[in-house]
């Protein structure tokens, strides 16, 4: 599909996003399920630095760029680290380091990753798993809507 339309500050777009960590390993990609992400520019769902990288791109174009933590998924917030008693876990939902468990909250569900098990205390991190680190994004513009 060829078009001379480019991404503007008020565009709605479909993009494939692949995220890579600083060691080059892939963290996630919309290509896995072949479901591009819809982004509405200017709606504050992505950082201004991320939007700035997209401006001027056209359908069919790819771009790779790295954002520091603050502009990617934010810095890790110590207030999002909580401690629970190991008794709150079960065989079905074990307190195992690396497990991501969804907790019911008044506003919906919140995923947290178990970071440490120390005796009867379980440390759970509710920060985004990519918070606190730079992320490299590979953007493939599928369509400008």
Across the range 113-136, mean pLDDT stands at 96
pLDDT, position 105: 86
Q: 122 pLDDT exceeds 80?
A: yes
Tens digits of per-residue pLDDT, 17-72? 999 999 999 999 999 999 999 999 999 999 999 999 999 999 999 999 999 999 99
- Specify the length of the chain in residues: 145
Across the range 118-124, mean pLDDT stands at 97
- Asked if residue 138 lies in contact with residue 15, where contact means CB atoms within 8 angstroms, the answer is no
Q: Where are the domains of the chain?
A: 12-74+130-144, 78-125
Collapsing DSSP to helix, strand or coil, 27 comes out as strand
Q: What is the DSSP string of 42-107?
A: TSSSS-HHHHHHHTT-BTT-EEEEEE-GGGTT-PPPGGGEEEEEGGG--SSS---TT-EEEEEETT
User: What class does CATH assign to 78-125?
Assistant: mainly beta
pLDDT, position 84: 96
The CATH number of the structural domain formed by 12-74+130-144 is 3.10.50.40
Q: 1 pLDDT exceeds 80?
A: no
pLDDT, position 4: 74
Across the range 91-105, mean pLDDT stands at 92
Quote the mean pLDDT of the chain: 94
Model-wide pTM > 0.85: no
């Amino acid at each position: 599909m060829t078009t001379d339309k480019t991404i503007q500050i008020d565009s709605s777009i479909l993009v494939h996003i692949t995220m890579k960590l600083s060691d080059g390993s892939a963290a996630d990609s919309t290509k896995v399920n072949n479901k591009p992400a819809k982004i509405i520019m200017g709606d504050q769902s992505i950082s201004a630095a991320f939007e700035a990288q997209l401006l001027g791109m056209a359908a069919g174009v790819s771009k790779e760029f790295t954002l520091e933590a603050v502009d990617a998924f934010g810095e890790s917030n110590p207030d999002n680290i909580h401690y629970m008693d190991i008794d709150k876990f079960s065989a079905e939902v074990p307190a195992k380091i690396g497990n991501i468990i969804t907790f019911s909250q008044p506003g919906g569900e919140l995923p947290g990753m178990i970071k440490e098990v120390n005796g009867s205390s379980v440390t759970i991190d509710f920060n985004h798993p990519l918070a606190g680190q730079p992320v490299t994004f590979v953007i493939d513009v599928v369509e400008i809507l």
